[in-house]
């Protein structure tokens, strides 16, 4: 007997193919006699259906499984809310990459059958949180599954800052900014900036300088339980910005302190038993397969 009785569906409005996948999921779930709850935004895409509608926060609190339909960006958009409720999450990929949403639309029926039969694994992905402090007072805060980024905004000029880890001075730097990424985010913006790929099971953070004005400045991998503090230096006619998971962030002024640390709780991702992180990397990043053999 499946442990999942009340299933929440969240889709990304305007995303190609999401409506078809939501309808397919709804039919499969109802045929199994399961309770289906659709978030209100997705419900607008399914006009004429008889699913119960609910706002996302209440949906996560009421369901024992949430299925997110879209790309990795869709998962990023709801990760904080879902992790807060400690509800397991399954991703159906309607995006380009699919590091977080790994079920293909044509596999929905078969994969759900396996999962409801208990054939799945659960992977915990931790989030990070940041605070921007000015004169000792917290003026902004946010959370991220992938990364927190200090950057110059629309300006092409470098910014100045000092980096501390657990209150130990690391370096001062002039660069286009700094990326603080989780293992989940190591295959995102951090990878594009030259950072290492980290296995999702690692309890680590990577700090990646963006175009540093130094040949010796390299990505730095640290324990995820560390506290990262970035002190913003004096700038030349620009106001650095802080962004979380690519979303519009907030402005940082000279002397401000950006604090980044691991957030309590985790996003609980459900995967099929044959899920393989390295196979995902081969598929999504174009790594070579075994010589003379089909991919495993």
pLDDT for 178 beyond 90: yes
Average pLDDT (145-173) is 93
What contacts 163, CB < 8 A, 6 or more positions away? 169, 170, 171, 172, 173, 178, 207, 228, 229, 230
Q: Are 270 and 65 in contact, with CB atoms under 8 Å apart?
A: yes
pLDDT score recorded for residue 245: 95
pLDDT score recorded for residue 15: 64
Burial class (CB in 10 A: 0-12, 13-18, 19+), 294: exposed
Rounded Cα distance between 123 and 273, Å, is 11
Q: Are 253 and 132 in contact, with CB atoms under 8 Å apart?
A: no
Q: Are 51 and 6 in contact, with CB atoms under 8 Å apart?
A: no
89-135 pLDDT, tens digit each: 999 988 776 788 888 888 888 999 999 999 999 999 999 999 999 99
Q: DSSP H helical segments within the chain, as ranges?
A: 18-31, 40-43, 56-62, 72-85, 108-116, 189-192, 277-285
pLDDT for 296 beyond 70: no
Q: DSSP H helical segments within 32-186, as ranges?
A: 40-43, 56-62, 72-85, 108-116
234-252 pLDDT, tens digit each: 877 788 999 999 887 899 9
Rounded Cα distance between 221 and 249, Å, is 24
> Which residue, chain included where needed, has tokens 């309890």?
203
Between residues 104 and 296, which one has the greater pLDDT? 104
Pick 6-126+266-285's CATH classification: 3.30.430.20, 3.10.20.70, 2.70.50.60, 3.40.50.10330: 3.40.50.10330
What contacts 209, CB < 8 A, 6 or more positions away? 173, 175, 177, 178, 179, 217, 218, 219
224-237 pLDDT, tens digit each: 999 999 999 987 77
Between residues 157 and 117, which one has the greater pLDDT? 117
Between residues 234 and 193, which one has the greater pLDDT? 193
Which residues are identified as catalytic? 72
pLDDT for 16 beyond 80: no
Rounded alpha-carbon distances, angstroms, from residue 67 to 9, 17, 103, 113: 5, 15, 10, 14
pLDDT for 194 beyond 80: yes
Best CA proximity match to 257, nearest among 82, 130, 109, 112: 130
Average pLDDT in the chain: 90
Q: Are 219 and 191 in contact, with CB atoms under 8 Å apart?
A: no
Best CA proximity match to 161, nearest among 149, 153, 150: 150
Q: What is the CATH number of domain 128-262?
A: 2.60.200.30
pLDDT for 1 beyond 70: no
Rounded Cα distance between 281 and 288, Å, is 10
pLDDT score recorded for residue 205: 98
Q: Are 61 and 85 in contact, with CB atoms under 8 Å apart?
A: yes
For the chain, give every domain's residue range: 6-126+266-285, 128-262
| Band of residue 24 on the pLDDT scale cut at 50, 70, 90 | confident
Average pLDDT (46-56) is 78
pLDDT for 175 beyond 80: yes
């Amino acid at each position: 007997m499946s442990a999942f009785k009340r299933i929440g569906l969240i889709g990304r409005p305007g995303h190609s193919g999401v409506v078809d996948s939501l309808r397919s999921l709804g039919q499969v779930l109802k045929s199994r006699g399961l309770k289906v709850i659709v978030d209100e935004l997705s419900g607008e895409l399914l006009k004429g259906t008889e699913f119960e509608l609910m706002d996302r926060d209440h949906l996560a609190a009421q369901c024992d499984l949430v299925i997110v339909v879209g790309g990795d960006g869709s998962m990023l958009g709801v990760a904080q809310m879902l992790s807060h409720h400690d509800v397991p999450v399954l991703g159906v990929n309607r995006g380009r990459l699919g590091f977080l949403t790994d079920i293909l639309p044509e596999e929905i029926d078969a994969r759900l059958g396996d999962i409801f039969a208990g054939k799945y694994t659960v992977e915990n992905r931790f989030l990070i949180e940041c605070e921007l402090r000015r004169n000792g007072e917290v003026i902004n805060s946010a959370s991220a599954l992938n990364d927190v980024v200090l950057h110059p905004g629309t300006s092409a000029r470098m910014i100045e800052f000092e980096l501390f880890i657990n209150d130990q001075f690391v370096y001062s730097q002039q660069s286009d900014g700094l990326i603080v990424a989780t293992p989940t985010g190591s295959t995102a913006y951090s990878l594009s900036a030259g950072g290492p790929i980290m296995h999702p099971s690692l309890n680590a953070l990577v700090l990646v300088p963006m175009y540093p004005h130094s040949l010796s400045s390299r990505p730095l991998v640290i324990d995820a339980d560390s506290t990262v503090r970035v002190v913003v230096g004096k700038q030349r006619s620009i106001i650095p910005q802080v962004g979380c998971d690519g979303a519009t962030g907030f402005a940082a002024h000279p002397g401000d302190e950006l604090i980044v640390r691991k957030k309590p709780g985790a996003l609980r991702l459900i995967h099929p038993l044959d899920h393989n992180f390295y196979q995902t990397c081969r598929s999504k990043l174009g790594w070579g397969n075994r010589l003379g053999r089909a991919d495993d």
